[in-house]
Amino acid sequence: MNPLDLLKTQLQNALNESTEDVDFTEALADAIYACNLSMKALEQFISSWVLPDALTIGRELDDCDIRYVKGVKFVEDKWHQITGMF
């Protein structure tokens, strides 16, 4: 199984079993969509939410954004486990 398919499967399982709020699960669903596009799309999705500069460009994070970022970090951690990064 290729890394994107493995991540997609893990994220779908996490989404199906999640008791997290809608913002967290929306991040998982968005990551699954990115996996369907390409590895580059997934990496751009992750970096657009977790890089410090992406989060501080002229705006304050609200609670929804914070919960969404928590979901993206979950995705990033899973991706790094699969690819052996970090």
> Considering the entire predicted model, what is its pTM?
0.86
Domain residues for the domain of 23 are 3-83
Angle at CA 35, nearest 5°, toward 48 and 31? Answer: 50
DSSP string, 40-53: HHHHHHHHHHHSHH
Residue 25: its pLDDT value, please? Answer: 96
* Domains of the chain: total: 1
Share of the chain above pLDDT 70, in %: 85
Which range among 56-60, 66-70, 79-83 shows the weakest confidence by mean pLDDT?
56-60
Over residues 15-30, the pLDDT tens digits come to: 999 899 999 999 999 9
